Amino acid sequence: MIRLQFIFLLILAPYVILGQQKTHEFKQSQCDEINNYEKLNERIIKKTFINDSLVIVIGIHHICCANFESNYEIDDSELLLSYSNIGDECFCFCFYELTYKIPIVDQIFTNILINNKPFPETDEKYAVYQKVTDTLDDGAIRHRSFRNDVVTNQVIDMDSFKVIQLYREGKLTYEKKIEVKGGM
C-alpha cells in the first residue's frame, strides 16, 4: 500500500509543482527598423509598480523577425529576466521593447539581470560612443572604446598576445588573454 502511494505521488508531483509556479505577462513591440540601430542603448527603459505587479520595460537589439518567449526568476535580491527567440532566423536587425509584468513583487532588488547581463537603467535613448587608438612605449597598440559606462580596452603586442578587458563603472568585469601566433 505504501509503495502504491509513493508511485502515485511521483506521478502527481510535476503537476503540483507546476501549479505553484507564478506566471507573468510578456509583450514585445514591433520591430523598430532604424538605421544604425546599434546606436540605441540596450537598457531598462522603465520600472514601475501597477497594482500588485512589477512592470519592467527593456530595450534590446535583435534580428528583425524575432518572436520572443520569456521567463523570470527571483534569486535572493536579484531579479533574473530572460528572453529567447523562438521565431525564424533572418539577417536584418532592429530594436525591440520587451515588457515584463511580474505579479506580487514586494521586494527591492539590488540587481536586475537580463539574460545574465546587467542593463543600465537610463532615459538615454542613444549610446555615447567613442574610439581611441594609441601606441604604448613598448610598441604595443592599444584600442579603447567607450560606450556609456562600459570601457573596452584591447592591448595588442604584435609578437605574442592580445588582451581584452571590459570595465563597467570602473570595475574590471571581463578579461581574456589570447596568444597571437606569427604576429598580427
DSSP secondary structure of 1-69? -HHHHHHHHHHHHHHHHHHHSPP-EEEEPPPB--TTGGGBPPEEEEEEEETTEEEEEEEEEEETT--EE
- Give how far Cα 69 sits from Cα of 24, 25, 45, 110, 182, Å: 11, 11, 19, 25, 45
Report whether pLDDT(48) > 80: yes
125-154 tens-digit pLDDT:
777 667 778 888 877 788 777 666 666 777
C-alpha cell at position 130 = 567613442
Instruction: Tell me the C-alpha distance between 48 and 53, whole Å.
Output: 8
- 119 contacts 86 by C-beta, under 8 angstroms: no
**Chain segment 20-47, per-residue pLDDT in tens:** 346 899 999 998 887 777 777 889 999 9
3-class DSSP state of 171 = strand
Domain boundary assignment for the chain: 2-118, 129-179
Strand order of the sheet with strand 161-168? 129-135, 141-147, 150-157, 161-168, 171-179
Mean pLDDT of 8-18: 38
Would the pLDDT of 114 be above 80? yes
